Every structure is written in structure tokens, then in C-alpha cells.
Amino acid sequence: MPEPLIFEVSRKGRQGVSLPACDVPETPIPSHLCRSELSLPEVSEMDVVRHYVRLSQLNYAVDTGFYPLGSCTMKYNPKANDAAARLPGFAALHPLQDPSTSQGALAVMHSLQEMIAEIGGFYAVSLQPSAGAHGELTGILILRKYHADRGQTGRTRILVPDSAHGTNPASTAMAGLEAVEIPSDKRGNIDISCLKANLDDRVAGLMLTNPNTLGLFEENLLEVTRLVHAAGGLVYGDGANFNAILGMARPGDMGIDVMHFNLHKTFSTPHGGGGPGAGAVGVVEELADYLPGPVVAVVSKDAADPRQYDWCMPARSIGRVKSFHGNFGILVRAYVYIRMLGPDGLRAVAENAVLNANYLQARLKGVYPVPHGDRTCMHEFVAQGKLAAAPDIRALDISKRLIDYGFHPPTNYFPLIVPEALMIEPTETESLETLDSFAQALLEIAREAGANPEVLQEAPHSSPVRRLDEVKAARELKVTAG
């Protein structure tokens, strides 16, 4: 049943919440300052509830089913995380209170800064950025300022692999630098000879996602980072795929100078339908002064001191990238997750995530093309939605048909370097049964593609709505109600 717009449910005179009477003498409000009308929905609380509950029922979510979205790490979101974030001492805390009255919150943030630094092999961490892309912009601005401070303002280029997520070149451009694309080689690694050809004194750095969006660990990682450093550049790590090596390797040990972590991917905070997330940024010691601030610092060794933790602006900070301190409600959730897992648990995450992905790759190879199936994948792999028996069937059709089998499709058409890409990331929180069901569904769909392709091309059949007319949406641009 389609759900009407809340504006269509509105009836003049209805009201939801009641407010207390005014307990102070009223001060006249000049009428010329006041608006004449405000056209918001007028509904009862029951209307609110039914509307939003019914809308929620139109959604697929991690709590409903499997979400094998490559590079999104749709793992289970522990409810303990949410319980902690809801504690009134956190949820009702104003960010501008004197630090002596928010030591508990500062302690959580400081501890999280330290734990992420330890996990990533970094010297210092800022928790201010709101999302991965926000962290990327932060990192590129750090590179830029670092070089500028050394008189190297000619370093205006950032090298970006062709498999990179669109946020990488977009963040580079936002920071005022030029993105230069470096191709991948036949094994899915960065093409070393192209890298060398482009490394000169115009390069500020390299943006590297490792494992990359093909799900492959950069086989020449140490040489790549060494080459960039030898040319006077720095290496930025995009941590979107960090779930593959969590606890198994530390980017900071292997030549990464600055990296963002997606707390809403690797660290289990819920995705919210598109945020909020958090994009913590870790740096090596040489870059610590450039972090956005303020960060939390220990100012007193005495644990009983009401001012043990305080805000501190790094000495050469690129500045603030957000108001207040960061998405604290998300930070608490990541903190809980890390504390519940401990070092062994964190390692088990990567171990099982990589195992699950290799298992799926083994089951699907031979039915679907897997361009780099000869290599061990990490936490994800890229198959192609191309079937010899059904040349008219595309990745899109296979994806839409998966919906009829009760699964959310994998990432489609990304990375751009693989035609008809299906990027599959199971995560560690899925059971063998789920993996087998998913593999079974894909094998069944491959059979259907040959025997009865229309059923794929007309899919999905069982979802609340079917394929949408995106051309109409773009041409008419109806983006507000009424």
C-alpha cells in the first residue's frame, strides 16, 4: 500500500504535541517581525506514528536482511552502542559547557582517539570530521598545508588510482588541488611504471584505498609508499575498506601518513539511511600539528583533577572542519564497539570478513566472471553481471532480480574500471547459511537469465515499488511537495 505524503494526511486544526503554558509575563512580539503563515502538516500524534511506521516498513535494512554492498561494510549494528549513546549524561550534554563539567565525555573521546591511533598505527587522531569524504577533505588540506609550510606550494597534484571512489577526486578538487589519475595494472595493483612517471615535485601526494575497490591488497604497497615519499610526497589512506585488515595490519606502519576511518563502516555505527557517520582522521607524528581542532588532550596527570582533559588546538592546525567537536553520538557507539571486541575481537573481524568474501568468490567463480578471481580477495570482490548464455542481461537486471530473492543488491557499476561490476562485501557478521543462500540465489538467477531473461529485465516484482523512471525525475525535477 503506498503511503500518502504527510501533507496529504494533514487536516486543518489537528495538532500533535501539547506545550506548557507560559509561566512568565509575556513580552509583546512586534507583528511586523512575524510571518503571516507557515504551511506545515497539521496532524495528530497517531497520524505521525502511523505515517512513519508505515514508511519504515517500506525499507530494507541491515536488521531485515543481508546487504552485500561492496566498500560499505554493512555489518550488524550492536544495540549496546545505541544504549550508550542514549545515556542522558551524553545525550543531553551541551558541547560548550566548561570542560570541567564534561570530563566523562572528554574521557570517552580521548580514549577513542588513542584506540584508533593504536589500531591504525598512527600518532594522533582527530574525531571532528563527520564522514569519510569530510575526512578526505581534511587529509588533503593537511597535505597542502604541510607542503606550503615548507615552501613547496608547487605541489598541486594528488595522484588518484582509477579504481578510486568518486569522493577522492572530488575532495582533491574541493581542497584546490588537481587530481591526476593513475591506472591499475593487470593484477589490479597500481601500475608502478605509471606511478613513477607521474612522481615529480608537482605531486603533493597519493590517495590510496587499500585494499582497493577491486577488493585486492596492493601487492607493492611498501614500494608504492616508498616511491611517493622519495619524491617528496605524502600518502593519504582512504579507510573505507579497513574492515579487511582491522587488527591484521596497521596502515601507519606501512607508509600511510594520514588516513580517515569510516566509523559507520568498520566500527559498526548504524548507517541511518545516509548518515550520520563519522570520519576520524589519523596522522603520523610529523603531521600531528596539522590536525583539525580542537582535539582532546590530557592536561593533568591527576585522574581526580576536574580538568584532567581539555580542548587543545593543534599548533599548525588546518582549522575547524565542523562546528563543535564531531559527531559525538556516533563516537560513543564506536567506543562501545571497540571496548566490546578488544584486540582479539577486532582481529577476528578481519579474519572472518576476508574468509566470508573468499568463500563467496569461490562459490561464484565459474558462473559469473570474476576478473581478478585468480588472486585472493580481501573483504570484498568484484564480479561482473555478464553471462555468456544471456548477452542482453546486465548487472542492473541481476541486481533487481536479487531483490525478489530477499537480498539487497551488491554495489553496482563501481569500480568504473570493471564493466557491469557487482562489488560484493559480505562482512564478518553474516552466517554461512546466509552466504550459501545468497550464492544459491545468484546461481539460480544465472539459470533464469538463460531460460527466462524477461523475469530479470522486469524485476523486481515483489518490492513495494518496481523500477523507477529516473529520467522523468531528472527532467521534471519535482523536489518539493505541492
Partner 1 sequence: MSFIPNTDADRAHMLSAIGVASTAELFHDVPKDFRFPRLDLPAALSEHEVLGQLDALSRLNAQGPQTPSFLGAGAYNHFIPAVVDAMVSRSEFATAYTPYQPEVSQGTLQAIFEYQSMIARLTGMEISNASHYDGATSTAEAVIMALNVAQREKKRVLLSAGVHPQYRAVVRTYTQGMGLTVTGDESTSIGFDQLGDLCDESTACVVVQYPDFLGRVAEPAQLSGLAKRVHACGALLVVVANPVALGLLVPPGEMGADVVAGEGQALGNHLSFGGPYLGFFAFRRDHIRKSSGRIAGETVDQDGRRSYVFTLSTREQHIRREKATSNICTNQSLNALTAAVYLTALGPRGLRRVAELCWHKAHYLASRVGSLSGYSVTKGEFFHEFAVRCPRPVSRINARLFEKHGIVGGYDLGADYPELRDAMLLCCTEVTTKEQIDRLVAALEDCRNA
Partner 2 sequence: MEYKFDQKARYSKTHEWVRMDGAEAVVGITDYAQNKLSDVVFTDLPAVGKVLTKESAFMVIESVKAAEEVFAPVSGAVTARNEKLVKAPELVNKDPFGDGWLVRVRLSDVKELDSLMDLASYRKLVETL
Binding site for partner 2 (CB under 8 A): 470-471, 474-475
Distance of alpha carbon 269 from alpha carbon 321, whole angstroms: 21
Smallest separation (angstroms) from partner 1 to the CB of 85: 7
Residue 8 or 450: which CB sits closer to partner 1? Answer: 8
Q: Which does 341 bind (CB under 5 to 8 A by kind): partner 1, partner 2, none?
A: partner 1
Residue with Cβ nearer partner 1 (241 or 327): 327
The nearer residue to partner 1, 174 or 194, going by C-beta atoms, is 174
216 binds partner 1 (CB under 8 A): yes
Question: What contacts 317, CB < 8 A, 6 or more positions away?
Answer: 289, 290, 291, 292, 293
- Binding span for partner 1 by CB under 8 A among 93-101, 226-234, 296-304, 385-393: 93-101
- CA separation for the pair 181, 196 (Å, rounded): 13
Binding of partner 1 by 186 (CB under 8 A)? no
Q: Which stretch binds partner 1 (CB under 8 A): 32-40, 229-237, 384-392, 443-451?
A: 32-40
Q: Does 108 bind partner 1 (CB under 8 A)?
A: yes
189 Cα distance to chain centroid: 23
Closer of 12 and 301 to partner 1 (Cβ):
12
| Residue 60 vs 123, nearer CB to partner 1 | 60
Contact predicate 456/449, CB 8 Å: yes
CB 213 within 8 A of CB 165: yes
Residue closer to partner 1 by CB (options 35, 301) is 35
Work out how close the CB of 365 gets to partner 1 at its nearest, in angstroms, rounded to a whole number. Answer: 10
Each residue 140-179 as x (binds partner 1 by CB under 8 A) or -, in order, gives -x--xx-------------------xxx-xxxxxxxxxxx
Between residue 242 and residue 301, which ones bind partner 1 under the rule CB under 8 A? 245, 247-250, 253-254, 262, 264, 268, 270-278, 292
Tell me the site size for partner 1, rule CB under 8 A. Answer: 205
347-381: buried (b, 16+ CB within 10 Å) or exposed (e) per residue?
Answer: eebbebbbebbbebbebbeeebbbbbbebebbbbb
Helix (H, G, I), strand (E, B) or coil at 422: strand
DSSP notation for 430-458: S-HHHHHHHHHHHHHHHHHHHH-HHHHHT
Q: For strand 381-384 and strand 421-424, is the pairing parallel, antiparallel, or unpaired?
A: antiparallel
Residue 344 interacts with which of partner 2, partner 1, none, CB < 5 to 8 Å by class = partner 1
Q: Which part of the chain contacts partner 1 (CB under 8 A), choosing from 191-199, 231-239, 327-335, 366-374?
A: 327-335
User: Closest approach of Cβ 446 to partner 2, in Å?
Assistant: 25
The C-alpha cell of 303 is what?
585522574
The verdict on 131 binding partner 1 (CB under 8 A) reads yes
**Amino acid letter, 393:** I
Q: Which of 197, 222, 230, 389 binds partner 1 (CB under 8 A)?
A: 222
Cα distance between residue 290 and residue 246, in whole Å: 25
Per rule CB under 8 A, is residue 193 in the interface with partner 1? no
Nearest CA to 234 among 149, 144, 120, 135?
144
Which does residue 108 bind out of partner 1, partner 2, none, counting CB within 5 to 8 angstroms by kind? Answer: partner 1
What the block records as the C-alpha cell of 58 is 517500506
Output 388 or 433, the one with its CB closest to partner 1. 433
Q: Please provide residue 184's backbone torsions phi and psi, each rounded to the nearest 5 degrees.
A: -95, 155
Q: Which residues contact 416 (CB under 8 A, 6 or more apart)?
A: 162, 163
DSSP 8-state code for residue 188: S
582549522: which residue's cell? 319
**In the set 430, 442, 449, 456, which binds partner 1 (CB under 8 A)?**
430
Q: How far is the CB of 476 from partner 2 (least distance, A)?
A: 9
Among partner 2, partner 1, none, partner that 401 touches (CB below 5 to 8 angstroms by kind): none
426 binds partner 1 (CB under 8 A): no
> What is the smallest separation between the CB atom of 35 and partner 1, expressed in angstroms?
5
- Using the contact rule CB under 8 A, the part of the chain among 231-239, 366-374, 386-394, 456-464 near partner 1 is 456-464
Question: Counting contacts by CB under 8 A, is residue 448 touching partner 1?
Answer: no
In whole angstroms, give the CA distance from residue 48 to residue 37.
22
User: Quick one: CA dihedral 343, 349, 354, 356, positive or negative?
Assistant: positive
d(CA 112, CA 116): 6
Q: φ, ψ for residue 116 (rounded to 5)?
A: -65, -40
320 binding partner 1? (CB under 8 A): yes
Residue 351-380 contact track with partner 1, rule CB under 8 A, x = bound: xx-xxx-xx-xxx-----------xx-x--
